[in-house]
Structure 1
């Protein structure tokens, strides 16, 4: 049952969950702290660069170059092959 749609009793007792007044503006210090926290979260979840791991980067580069060399050789042979 949705309690928000249920009939509410009226009484003279104040609602304890409702604040009498609410400041809608956030202070500069709070905004700076939130901005810094967001930046720290984004920085901590970044993916490491390949340059940080030189061995892995070198292996990936060699693999990519070898694949490109094989592909060029295949296309060269396919282009020079006699056609029936």
Structure 2
């Protein structure tokens, strides 16, 4: 293509560099859609709880419950203990 015959711009800047002014903030709807998309992506890549051995899952659950009960008992005793 012969550039001498192409239409010339007075400023010398191509149109692609002339961006219209735009809002720099993302709308609430777009942010919610992005959050939902991220949540769905994370949810879809999770490892299902019962996909592995049921016995191991039950043992881990009992262990977690025992730890929680032990922590509650400690906090109860600490809060009821007489203060010097």
Q: TM-score, normalised by structure 2?
A: 0.44
Q: Highest relative contact order (Cα 8 Å, sep 6+), 1 or 2?
A: 2
